[in-house]
Amino acid sequence: MKIKKAAFIKSAALKDQYINDEQPQIVLLGRSNVGKSSFINSLVNMKKLARASSEPGKTQTANYYLINEMFYIVDMPGYGYAKTSKKTKSKFGGIIEYYLLNYHPCAVMLLVDIRHEPTENDVLMYEWLKYNGYEPYIILTKADKISKNEIAVNAKKAKQIFNDLTYEPIIYSSNNNLGREQTLNTIAEILDIKDEQI
């Protein structure tokens, strides 16, 4: 699949601001600072479409990006930042949970930093998604930061920790676009999009 057009549509801080139209939605989840904004920019080949907050844990909205005028990528607030207050963490959880239980995106991509073992919050999110009927796609980000050997070892660990995976994890780097084509092809399969439709 080729990305020919991508646009930021809106940030939704309140439940009644969520978009609910005919376009399918793919939601991105991940801990604060996992690289969701960089992932979006790499995927659509635009440097500044998605802007990361200057401070991890500060983004408190669901951000909607319309891709090829055919589907949305929905970037949810990051979770698990240590300095975020309990009240704010609870709000993040509320935003994510309400959206997933009421808007039913066609796919969930859970971004995890491949440099480290999945965190407790990553595992809790994965288990919550499975419990609620989702089969998340695991995107292992920041692969350019470690060696090929470390990638192989850490990817194997991630597969063991996220047991009962339906889909093979995608190893991704926003800096060199490793995994970009695989991710775009995966999205095309999810949405049943053929190149001639774009």
pLDDT in tens, 154-174: 999 999 999 899 999 999 999
pTM of the model: 0.90
Over residues 143-150, mean pLDDT: 97
Q: How far apart are CA 102 and CA 111, in angstroms?
A: 22
pLDDT in tens, 9-24: 999 988 889 999 999 9
- Per DSSP, the chain holds a count of helices (H) and strands (E) of 5, 7
What pLDDT, on a 0 to 100 scale, did the predictor assign at position 175? 95
pLDDT in tens, 108-130: 999 999 999 999 999 999 999 99
Asked whether the predicted pLDDT for residue 35 surpasses 70, the reply is yes
pLDDT band at 195 (very low <50, low <70, confident <90, very high): low
Rounded (10°) angle between helices 36-44 and 180-191? 80
pLDDT in tens, 42-92: 999 998 899 876 555 556 789 999 999 999 999 999 887 544 444 444 444
Give every CB contact of residue 169 below 8 A, 6+ residues apart in sequence. 138, 139, 140, 155, 158, 159, 162
What pLDDT, on a 0 to 100 scale, did the predictor assign at position 82? 43
Q: How far apart are CA 129 and CA 108, in angstroms?
A: 9
Structural domains present in the chain: 6-197 (3.40.50.300)
Asked whether the predicted pLDDT for residue 192 surpasses 50, the reply is yes
